[in-house]
Amino acid sequence: MIMKKSFSLLLILFSTILLLVSCGKEDNQPETPIGLGKSSGQVFYASTESHKQPDTKVYADENMQVLWNENDHISIFNKTTFNSEYLFTGEDGDNYGSFEEIPASGFVSGNTLSKVYAVYPYYNNNKINNAGTAITMTLPSEQTYKAHSFGIGANAMIAVTENNFLAFKNVCGYLSLRFYGDNVSVSCITLRGNNGEKIAGKASIAVSTTTPPVTTMDNTATDAITLVCDPPVQLGSTASEYTDFWFAIPPTTFSGGFTITVTDALGGTYEKSTTRSFTVTRNQMDWMNPLKVEITYDEENTFVPFEDANFKAYCVNNFDTNNDGEISLAEAKLVTRISVITDENHDNISSLRGIEFFVNLTSLQCTGSGSSGTNLGKLTFLDVSHNTALTEFRCYNNRLTSLDVSHNTALRVLVCYHNLLNSLDVSHNTALEYLHCSSNQLTSLDVSHNTALTSLSCGFNQLTSLDVSHNTALTSLSCQSNQLTSLDVSHNTTLTSLNCNSNQLTSLDVSHNTALSLLYCSSNQLTSLDVMQNTALTQLYCYSNQLTSLDVSHNTALTSLSCESNQLTSLDVSNNTALKYLNCENNQLTSLDISQNTDLISLYCYSNQLTSLDVSHNTALKSLYCDSNQLTSLDVMQNTALTQLYCYSNQLTSLNVSYNTVLNELRAWPQSGNLGTLYKVSTQTINYKNNAGSIISPSDYGTTIVEVD
């Protein structure tokens, strides 16, 4: 009997894993000495098998640097057959450190050996024979997934020395399976030989100081290894984005090939078999070419994995055909339309996880209920890459920072305004007809591939350029509130509506857009605007530019004209007999003839230099704003439909509103009034306001009210 000794082992690893190219193999390289010490003062040395092969240790990092794990346990047979357990005292990711013995109570015994042996990983049933020629250990039938590496505990190794050198040798060879798939999350992979080869369980390892270890599997061993993924691992979607899974396998020849079974997170499976003989060689790495995984399910009994209880409740309420409180994959396949409101005042949905199993969806609406960015929905992420049948997709008023629609090639309608998108790739959506991506954070937008577009709305972003030359089918274009310095719409001859307000345009050629009925080009830097060819125009908004003239004589269909805040000295609207709305305020007009505009309902001509204004022919007028001019008189006796009249800051001494019986708001006084007499009927109730909009009493401004019959 001998007393068990306690000592410390220091193992320093310098090695790096360099994987072999293709499926080839490489001869072993010379061993590299590594230090191994013990607390008693005796120093042992260890070496890895090769710095160009998968090295002896727990796992590998992204640079293929061999690393220790914080809870590494190894077996040491220190010149005795007793199995001593040692624990790594460093941290995860260290490539060297000390191992300290985990003490056992009382005395232990074992037969004396002439050498020191080490085994990774530690199991209490690790054994060595009395002759020191064979080690019995368990090769795990269940291994754990680790990205780009073998899992902890899978890479079995041994070391033996006759003096003060330990040389770790790998027991297994390595196989990397490379998979990709559409909407596949792997929970486990099982590998087994087609002829029942034993690859896990009890094994006897012949050891020697001069030759590599030789493995013999016991008759009680099993024929399968399962690689467990917890949590499930999402596969890359293409062959170039494959996900790799490493197996540590004892040297084996699969004479009839092997079979791989992939199980996904829902319990669906995929199976692939090879028929050729395949040999796993100790200390060598092999890998398969990328393989597409296509999962099959028991669709009636496999349920959609919802993440959000509110979304599940919506689906159960609408699509649970067998009333079992779940949505099976079979039920999900029957759904073609989903419409939810994602803000907290309505459906309160924060995740649409599970939508990927509604593979026949043609219409998806998941929006906040607000407008102009208010009452936003709760969605911050949305994956529709598996909903390839979608033709209509609306996700506006949410908090999405990214959106991938590259797989949705059938899309005709995409509405994603009021989100937080800083990019949007629609190059694959060649069927797109309607795109509304306003109010995001886009700095660029390529629509050159979207030749079917008829409507494009991309306003309120940060675009500095926009090429619509390929979008010849466009009938509506809204690109307002960006940073555009130029805009070429010469190829868009079918345009009926153009809104380019609030950019930095210095010129705009719409001579080719003869079908235009709506033109909004306000708040730019235009010095001229030719609309003579746009005879179909019904609405023209060109305010807040630098226009000195504007010819609308050819635009006889105009019903709305807004040309305020320019530098116009004259304006001829005599041919615009259909006008209902005219705003020419804040210009330099000295006269304005509206006698031909008998349909006019609203007239804003304030802040000009008018000395007279004849509105006697405009009997349909409801709103008249002619304040801040130089009027000395104003006759509104024919304007019996007036509800609003602003005529303050003129030179009026009297005003008769006794015929304006529906008038409810009158502003005829500046801060210091100059209106002497106001004529009204006694039954009129009028809100008198100053130019600041405050309610006043006319008498406070020196005005006499005369009530007439």
Let me know: does 77 contact 128? Beta carbons within 8 Å.
yes
Q: Does residue 164 form part of some domain?
A: yes
What CATH code is carried by the domain that includes residue 556?
Answer: 3.80.10.10
Stretch 629-633: mean pLDDT? 96
Q: Does residue 537 form part of some domain?
A: yes
Confidence of residue 672 (pLDDT cuts 50, 70, 90): low
Looking at the chain, the whole-number percentage of residues with pLDDT higher than 70 is: 87
Same domain flag for 98 and 166: yes
Cα angle, residue 512 at apex, residues 492 and 562 outer, rounded to 5°: 95
Same domain flag for 510 and 595: yes
Is the CA virtual torsion 528, 533, 535, 537 positive or negative? Answer: negative
Give the model's pLDDT for residue 57.
43
Stretch 487-504: mean pLDDT? 98
pLDDT tens per residue across span 419-461:
999 999 999 999 999 999 999 999 999 999 999 999 999 999 9
* 169 DSSP 8-state letter: E
Same domain flag for 537 and 672: no
Closest CA to 560 of 607, 520, 513: 520
Mean pLDDT of the chain: 87
pLDDT tens per residue across span 551-591:
999 999 999 999 999 999 999 999 999 999 999 999 999 99
End-to-end CA distance of the chain: 132
Q: Does residue 387 form part of some domain?
A: no
Same domain flag for 655 and 531: no
Stretch 293-321: mean pLDDT? 95
Specify the range with the lowest mean pLDDT, choosing from 162-166, 258-262, 276-280, 391-395. Answer: 162-166
Stretch 46-72: mean pLDDT? 49
Question: Residues with Cβ < 8 Å from 637, sequence gap 6 or more?
Answer: 616, 656, 659
CA distances from 89 to 5, 92, 234, 576 (A): 18, 10, 34, 90
Let me know: does 322 contact 251? Beta carbons within 8 Å.
no
Same domain flag for 282 and 214: yes
Same domain flag for 153 and 259: yes
Same domain flag for 584 and 520: yes
Let me know: does 342 contact 400? Beta carbons within 8 Å.
no
Give the model's pLDDT for residue 40.
29
Same domain flag for 675 and 636: yes
Q: Does residue 259 form part of some domain?
A: yes
Alpha helices in 390-500 (DSSP H): none
How far from the centroid of its chain's Cα atoms is residue 318's Cα? 27
CA-based max dimension of the chain: 132
Rounded to two decimals, the pTM is 0.74
Tell me the backbone φ, ψ of residue 285, rounded to 5 degrees: -110, 130
Is the CA virtual torsion 533, 539, 541, 547 positive or negative? Answer: positive
Q: Write a three-state SS string for 108-144.
A: CCCCEEEEEEEEECCCCCCEECCCCCEEEEEECCEEE
pLDDT tens per residue across span 513-525:
999 999 999 999 9
What is the DSSP secondary-structure string of 577-645? TT-SEEE--SS--S----TT-TT--EEE--SS--S----TT-TT--EEE--SS--S----TT-TT-SEE
Q: Does residue 523 form part of some domain?
A: yes
Let me know: does 60 contact 148? Beta carbons within 8 Å.
yes
Give the model's pLDDT for residue 333.
96
pLDDT tens per residue across span 360-419:
999 999 999 876 556 789 999 999 998 999 999 999 999 999 999 999 999 999 999 999
End-of-domain residue from the set 276, 292, 308: 292
Q: Does residue 492 form part of some domain?
A: no
Q: Where are the beta strands (DSSP E) in 406-468?
A: 413-415, 434-436, 455-457
Q: How many CB atoms lie within 10 A of CB 564?
A: 22
Same domain flag for 207 and 286: yes
How far from the centroid of its chain's Cα atoms is residue 456's Cα? 21
pLDDT tens per residue across span 224-265:
999 999 999 999 989 999 999 999 999 999 999 999 999 998
User: Total structural domains in the chain?
Assistant: 3
CA distances from 81 to 112, 114, 130, 238 (A): 7, 10, 7, 52
Is the CA virtual torsion 150, 151, 152, 153 positive or negative? Answer: negative
| Spatial separation of the C-alpha atoms in residues 539 and 557, rounded to whole Å | 9
Same domain flag for 166 and 235: yes
Residue 30 has pLDDT above 80, yes or no: no
| Spatial separation of the C-alpha atoms in residues 261 and 179, rounded to whole Å | 12
Which residue do the tokens 């590594």 mark? 34
Residue 60 has pLDDT above 60, yes or no: no
Confidence of residue 95 (pLDDT cuts 50, 70, 90): low
Let me know: does 454 contact 436? Beta carbons within 8 Å.
no
Q: Does residue 90 form part of some domain?
A: yes
Q: Does residue 690 form part of some domain?
A: yes
pLDDT tens per residue across span 180-220:
998 899 999 999 999 999 999 999 999 988 888 999 999 99
Same domain flag for 597 and 616: no
Pairing of β 66-67 and β 96-101: unpaired
| Spatial separation of the C-alpha atoms in residues 95 and 57, rounded to whole Å | 10
Stretch 135-143: mean pLDDT? 96
Q: How many CB atoms lie within 10 A of CB 392?
A: 17
| Spatial separation of the C-alpha atoms in residues 41 and 46, rounded to whole Å | 16
End-of-domain residue from the set 275, 292, 309: 292
Confidence of residue 109 (pLDDT cuts 50, 70, 90): confident
Give the model's pLDDT for residue 585.
98
Domain that holds residue 58: 8-292
> For residue 523, with 0-12 CB atoms within 10 Å meaning exposed, 13-18 middle and 19 or more buried, which class applies?
buried
Same domain flag for 81 and 30: yes
